[in-house]
Amino acid sequence: MPDLATDTSPGRAPQLPDRIALVLRDRILSGELRPGTFLRMDRIAAELGVSHTPVREALQSLRAEDMVLAVPRRGFVVAELTRGDVADLFEVQADLTGTLAARAAEQLGPADLDDLRTLAGRVTELCGRMPHDAGPEDLEPLVSAEHRLHAEINRLASSRKLAWLVGRSSHYLPAHFYTGSPAWRTGALRAHTELLDALGAADPEAARSAMRRHVLDGRDLLLAHLDTIGMWTTD
């Protein structure tokens, strides 16, 4: 885990509490932190190399999102998360990103498509050289490259408010879980090819369908993982 207090890598523009919240959110949604788990501020601060203050702010932010609960005199605990909750998060993301992809297909030009292919090529390159035992620091460039590709598609849709909503909802998808999965990497490369072909053909509905499949493939992979580790005590 990188030291968040000193990390200056690309894509780290958000404030420190936001970065801490991202780490914890990722762990909750990937099942590393189960519902009912108490989150100790001193332990989190020591692990991430930060003070207690930004950890407290991050936990308050997660509380506002219903990801954690505050327990009087005991601190914070991971909130209930059902299988349906996880599926709903992906359905929202699939609908929003599918709409943006469809709009981008109607507006982008040849130069835009060239830029997207360059960004997708970077993802392919990083996937190809990912070590078998990749850790968080190995995954960070791939997380960033995948984000840049999708952010550019969203920008080309010329729908600023919808793109903003997608940016917010994407926080609830565990990016490091995906990029760490060989199955996700294989599927993502195939999905990128289908998506760019649809965008290049200026076919809005094909672009919408390709983007939705890409997102929902991630849903299926995560749910299968959570089923396997016995995440759901009740549903």
Q: 222-232: per-residue pLDDT in tens?
A: 999 999 999 98
Q: 192-207: per-residue pLDDT in tens?
A: 999 999 999 999 999 9
Given a contact cutoff of 8 angstroms between Cβ atoms, the answer to whether 202 and 105 are in contact is yes
Query: Of 16, 21, 23, which Cα lies nearest the Cα of 1?
Result: 23
pLDDT given at position 201:
97
What angle (nearest 5°) sits at the alpha carbon of residue 49, between those of residues 43 and 54?
80
Split at pLDDT 50, 70, 90, the class of 154 is very high
Tell me the average pLDDT across 37-55: 93
pLDDT given at position 88:
94
Q: 82-120: per-residue pLDDT in tens?
A: 999 999 999 999 999 999 999 999 999 999 999 999 999
pLDDT given at position 232:
83
Beta strands in the chain (DSSP E): 38-39, 68-71, 75-78
Q: Which domains does the chain have, with CATH numbers?
A: 16-78 (1.10.10.10), 83-228 (1.20.120.530)
Q: What percent of the chain is predicted at pLDDT more than 70?
A: 93
pLDDT given at position 4:
56
Q: 56-84: per-residue pLDDT in tens?
A: 999 999 999 899 999 988 889 999 999 99
Q: Which residues of 45-72 are buried (b: 16+ CB within 10 A; e: fewer)?
A: beebebeeebbbbbbebbeeeebbeeee
Split at pLDDT 50, 70, 90, the class of 149 is very high
CA atoms lying within 13 Å on the CB side of residue 214:
24
pLDDT given at position 76:
95
